[in-house]
Structure 1
Amino acid sequence: MKLYEFQGKALFQEAGIPIPKGALVTADSRKDLFAPSAVKAQVLSGGRGKAGGVLLVSTMDEAEKAADSILSLELKGEKVSALLVEEKMDIRREYYLAVTFDGEERTPLFMVSPSGGMDIESVADKEPEKILKLPVDPLWGVTDYKIRAMADFLGYEDRKEFALFVRKIWKLFREKDASLVEINPLVVTDKGLVALDSKIELDDDALPRQKALFEALGAEQLRITGQEAEKDGGTITYVPLEGNVGLISDGAGTGMLTLDLIRDMGGEAADFCEMGGLTSPEVMYSALEQVLEDKRIKSLIVVLIGGFNRMDEMAEGILKYFSDHKSDLPIVVRLCGTMEEEGSRMMTEAGYTVYDDLRTAVVDAVRFAAEGE
């Protein structure tokens, strides 16, 4: 799960990692806009600076114009719905610092570079000697001598401050089950080290352990993009993930089981979406609207195990949605429970295949997604 910059910085602040003073601004609420400041688009894609998504302003008039300009942008297919407005910093030096996973060595990896503020992939390609990579034993953590090696490589003299900063980053990485914590740039100011940017990705496989965190962050992302998390008396929990198989379930347990099966079958889920409580055709319709906004999705699996929820009503919601939204997207449906036979009949008569076995349904959903790439 990728986080917006403002979400990453909220985690930084919680961990005691210094960040600039700032405020979140949306098209509907600009009361916290201020100047002088840096006005930054909140998007999950990279390269926003070169696309006009980051502007420095000196006056409120400039700030208003910058907000208008950035909120009108669409960056790599993602409409800008929110801005992070931050104080300007007196920057002395810029570094790059990140902790991620080394897939080949199967270990956490710290990376630092004195070339902060630049595209780190470009630095790695043209000047690899400017990047220091240090593997970290997850049992021992980041040791003193490795912290000293990083500080020496950067030329940062206050080793005590640097050690405290790095240990906080490592603790955040571990406790939040992150797969990436990146600061580019990490700046040196008259007050010391400050995280001027944040790029955090949480490990999708940690969802069962970090469910509250994923749900809170997912709901926050829905709010700033103008989507609703509660519709027609039902509550929809939606968490965007990194894959191309859309997933809707009528319970958290069913959803998590299906997530695991998708991964076991070689696929990646695009989301975790579950309709809590007593649902209705309208809630099913809304869940489909929410999930299928994601254009990365190449197939959709709907897994419903009804107790109080009626499968004929769930089928009604599915059929109504696809009647209103013509689509060639492959749909895999698993129905089980109250009014199962009637729901299956409705889906079958409309030309959809209803699966009796969850594993078979997942295998086909993963296969359809792969064929759609």
Structure 2
Amino acid sequence: MKLYEYAAKEIFSKYDIPIPASTLVSDADGAEEAARKMGEVVIKAQVLTGGRGKAGGIARASSPEEANIQAKRILGMSIKGFPVKKVLIEEYREPIKEMYLGITIDRTKKSPVIMASPQGGIDIEETAKNSPEQITMMHINPLTGIHEYQARMLANSLDRNKSPELINIIKKLYCVFIDNDCQLVEINPLARTKDGIIALDGKMVIDDNALFRQDFSQEETGSLEELARKNGMSYVGLDGEIGCIVNGAGLAMATLDMIKHYGGTPANFMDVRAGANAQQVKTALEIVSSNKNVKSIIINIFGGLTKCDEVAKGIIEIFPEIKIPLVVRLSGTNELEGRAMLGKYGIQMASSTEEAAKGVVGLGHSN
């Protein structure tokens, strides 16, 4: 589960990680009132996706009136399909230096890994590609936790002159990561200002499997990811035009790769998981087809616990409402029954992942 920036920063604050003063508002008048108290501010769209700055979802305002105008503009935006319903009004803190600090899980090493770079404010992937020597990575033994020497080495790689402050923040951020069952926690930029080190942005992703023991009060987002999760499925939005519904994460990734191989661009990752029933398949189609960028949809099912006739039933229930062409590949349990059911509706069938991917890319290009 992704957290909004304001929610991540509320958690940072509980761990005494410095953050700017801020107010969450849902209208332009609220933004103007907040700016009147703070002075120069930054208006930041609260959406569960990256790229806000490039999309115009972050703006500075030097007066309450300007804050009103900018907030009104941003609140009317949609960023990568996410409507902006709230903005964070944050006091402007001028960075002297911008750094990056993040923690995630290295599944190969089976341990948390802390990444630090003296170059912040841009995508860490961009830094890794263009200046890999600027990134320091430190694996942390999950049984012993972070050691003093590890925190010191990371802090020195960021800013040796501010090492004591940075050591303190690194240790606290690791506590945030562990205590809240994070898959990712990130500060970008972590800025040095005239008043000290401060987290100007915050990102947190919580492990869905640990949500039962976490108490997050974040409001429901109505996002496709959230809707899928509530129905026992996994969904990740992407930037392409071909919708994907698959059972099993491995097969889903292979399907996405095959679509790219044939010149298509996936619009999403969707795993309906083993044993999906007709209602889940129907819901999956509703979710994927609601993306206005989707021009064609591939359904790739390998029937083990999942029964192909159940999948076919779910497709048939919603097929008349969907105006997007489908390519369906069914293989495994009750395959013949499922294929016969779909054949009556003239739905394009495929016998392999490769054939299905090639077909759906062709359909997408023709629409």
TM-score bracket relative to the smaller structure: 0.5 to 0.7
- Cα displacement (A) at 1:158: 5.9
Match of 2:265 in 1: none
Tell me the residue number matched to 2:17. 17
CA distance in 2, matches of 1:288, 1:186: 40
Change (3 A) 1:279 1:100: closer
Q: Which runs of 5+ in 1 are unaligned?
A: 249-257, 355-360
- C-alpha separation in 2, matches of 1:218 and 1:331: 37
Partner of 1:145: 149
Alignment match, 2:345: 350
Note if 1:95 corresponds to 2:104: no
State the Cα distance separating 1:327 from its structure 2 match: 1.9
Q: Cα RMSD over matched residues?
A: 5.1
Which ranges in structure 2 are unaligned for 5 or more consecutive residues? 258-267, 362-367
* Distance across 2 between alignment mates of 1:333 and 1:30: 51
Higher mean alpha-carbon deviation, 106-115 vs 283-292, is at 283-292
- Indicate conservation of the 8 Å contact 1:298/1:368, yes or no: no
DSSP-derived class of the 2:221 partner: helix
- Deviation digits for residues 145-200 of structure 1 (CA, Å, limit 9, x no counterpart): 11111222333556554333212322333455544322111123566433211234
**CA deviation profile, 1:246-292 (whole Å, cap 9, x unmatched):** 559xxxxxxxxx54674697879824679xxx998xx9866633343
**Compared CA separation, residues 367 and 6, structure 1 to 2 (3 A):** farther
Q: Which residue of 2 aligns with 1:109?
A: 113
What CA deviation, in whole Å up to 9, does each residue of 1:198-227 have, x standing for no partner?
23445xxx54x325489979973316x8x9
> 1:45-97 CA distances to partner (integer Å, 9 max, x unpaired)?
5443244221011333212221232244454x434423432322434543221
Change (3 A) 1:181 1:109: same
Return closer, same or farther for 1:229/1:113 CA change in 2, 3 Å cut-off: closer
Secondary structure at 2:151 match in 1: helix
1:133 maps to 2:137: yes
Which residue is equivalent to 1:66?
Answer: 70
Q: Once the two structures are aligned, what percentage of the paired residues are identical?
A: 28
**Are residue 180 (structure 1) and residue 184 (structure 2) matched?**
yes
Deviations 1:340-362 (A, max 9, x none): xx9997645324599xxxxxx9x
Quick one: structure 1 residues 177 and 73, their matched pair in 2 at CA, closer, same or farther if it must change by over 3 Å?
Answer: same
State whether residues 298 and 369 of structure 1, in contact with CA within 8 Å, keep that contact through their aligned partners in structure 2: no
Number of residue pairs aligned between Structure 1 and Structure 2 = 333
Instruction: Indicate the residue corresponding to 1:254 in structure 2.
Output: none
Shift of 1:228: 9.8
In structure 1, how many angstroms separate the alpha carbons of the residues matched to 2:144 and 2:255?
32
Indicate if the aligned counterparts of 1:42 and 1:82 stay in contact, CA closer than 8 A.
Answer: yes
**Alpha-carbon offset, residue 144 of structure 1:** 0.7
Corresponding residue number in structure 2 for 1:164: 168
Partner AA of 1:151 in structure 2: A
Alignment of 1:178-217 (within 5 A): 178-189=182-193, 192-201=196-205, 207=208, 209-212=209-212
1:82 aligned partner, one-letter code: K
Q: Normalization by structure 2: what TM-score?
A: 0.65
Task: Specify the alignment match of 2:85 in structure 1.
Answer: 82
Retained in 2: the 8 A contact 1:67–1:83?
A: no
2:320 to 305, 318, 323: 323
Aligned partners of 1:293, 1:214: CA distance in 2, in Å?
Answer: 30
1:240 counterpart (235, 238, 257)? 235
Q: Which residue of 1 aligns with 2:222?
A: 222
Is the alpha carbon distance of 1:16 and 1:279 closer, same or farther for their aligned partners in structure 2, counting shifts above 3 Å? farther
Aligned to 1:52: 56
Equivalent residue, structure 2, for 1:270: 269
Whole-Å separation in 1 of the counterparts to 2:331 and 2:30: 47
Tell me the residue number matched to 1:251: none
CA distance in 2, matches of 1:116, 1:148: 19
